[in-house]
Structures are given as structure tokens and as C-alpha cells.
Amino acid sequence: MPKTANKYKEALAKIDRSRSYGLAEGIESVKAAAYAKFDETVEVAVRLGVDPRHADQMVRGAVVLPNGLGKDVRVLVFAKGEKEKEARDAGADYVGAEDLVAKIQEGWFEFDTAIATPDMMGLVGKIGKLLGPRGLMPNPKVGTVTFDVGRAVKECKAGKVEFRVEKAGIVHAPVGKVSFDAEKLKENLVALVEALVKAKPSAAKGTYLKKISISSTMGPGLNLDISEVQSKLI
């Protein structure tokens, strides 16, 4: 049996998958079960009571996590003139227009998120088929199509997480690193769930938060007690 399989088996032995964990215990258990040599990301999966096949039940949005993501986010901005300067001053890694579109058409994707001013979307639309499948297309619903580029850049750098419900009705999102203090992970997780609750479509009927699971990149997942998570929401 490969060494990684053995390590996963050992990690799995630390998790009781037959029960729901309290928030604090669940986070500590995920941290304890992480075994990779790198600083694993802590990921959350939330099953929602929606049917994304219906447009009026689509859940999409973004949230700035209070404690960030623990990684350097590379931000690209499509802008010209004063807005180009504003983006650079705010800390954007790449700023441009036609030059960036040309680079992306040649297969360059060395960035984590893209922002555009509204007047640039005609140009950005030319590479929509390249950006869309990678989750990099600027979108006004998550605040990445805006004239307030300075604020948008700072939010992305601070740990802004975009979320979108998948076909199976599940939202996957990172909430930090295994090396984070448990309380910081807890605050980030609660902020994400709050954002999901606020994004609840009016067409969604019945139970909205159906299941919340948490895991590290390589480690096994466990279920959280939904009622306790909900009790932490504002």
C-alpha cells in the first residue's frame, strides 16, 4: 500500500463519520487529521436545498473572510487611464487591456482572480470562453465588474471568496489553512455560511442548509452540526 494511502487510513481513523461534530471539535479534528507536508487548505462543502437547474434557484456571490485565506492572491485588472493607476496603487499584480487579452489568448493564466471596469467588458468578452471555464470571468454579481477597482483589488487581496452552487446543489469554498488558529477558521466558516444564507433565493423552499462538511485538502471530511453553525449566525 502506498505511503499516502497509509497516511490517509491513519487520518480516517481519527474521524467518526457516523456523527455530526460541534463547530470547535470539528475544526480541531480536521486540523489533527491533516497529514500532508504542505500547509493544507481547509475546505467547506455545503449542500443547499436548491435546484440549480432553475435560474431562480441559482446561488452565487462572494464574501470577504475576516481572517483571509492565508495565501497571496494574484489579481489581474482590465482597466485604462485613471482606473489603471487606481488598480496599481491598490496592489494589483497585473493591469492592462488589449495586451493582457493577447497574453491570455496565447495561454497565459498566471493569476487567481480578474477584475474589470464595466467599459472594458466588450474587450474581455472576447476571451470569455477562456476565462469562464476556469472561474476567472469578471462578474458584477460578485463585485469583479466595477469602477471601484481600488476597493475590489483590496478585497481580493484580503481574502475574498467567490462561491457558486454546483449542479448537485453543493457549494465548495476554502476558509483558510490548517495552520490557522481554530478560532480564525471558525470565524471564516461562519462568515461563509452567513453569506450563503443571505444569498438564499426566494424560490428555494423547505430546508435550505441541508449538510455542512469540512475537510483539509488531503484529509478525510466530517459533518458539522448544522443547528450549532446556524446558532452562530448574526
Over residues 83-97, the pLDDT tens digits come to 999 999 999 999 999
Output the average pLDDT for the chain: 93
What's the pLDDT at 71? Answer: 83
Range 15-22, long-range pairs (CB < 8 A, 24+ positions): 15/220, 15/221, 15/222, 16/222, 17/220, 17/221, 17/222, 17/223, 19/223, 20/223, 20/224, 20/225, 20/226, 21/222, 21/223, 21/224, 21/225, 22/224, 22/225, 22/228
Q: Could you please state the CATH topology (level 3) that the domain comprising 75-157 is classified under.
A: Rossmann fold (3.40.50)
What's the pLDDT at 104? Answer: 97
- Could you tell me the pTM of the whole model? 0.83
- Enumerate the CATH 3.40.50.790 domain ranges in the chain, comma separated: 75-157
Spatial distance between the Cα atoms of 33 and 39, rounded to a whole number of angstroms: 13
Q: CATH for 17-59+165-231?
A: 3.30.190.20
- Enumerate the CATH 3.30.190.20 domain ranges in the chain, comma separated: 17-59+165-231
What's the pLDDT at 1? Answer: 46
The x, y and z cell numbers of residue 133, run together, are 471555464
What's the pLDDT at 207? Answer: 94
- 232: amino acid identity, one letter: K
Q: Give the pLDDT mean for 51-63.
A: 92
- Residue with the larger pLDDT of the pair 16 and 180: 180
What's the pLDDT at 195? Answer: 95
Q: Which is nearest to 223 in space by CA: 8, 83, 16, 6? A: 16
What's the pLDDT at 103? Answer: 96
What's the pLDDT at 194? Answer: 96
- 14-18, 172-176, 195-199 — which is least confidently predicted? 14-18
16 — phi, psi (to 5°)?
Answer: -105, 100
What's the pLDDT at 2? Answer: 60
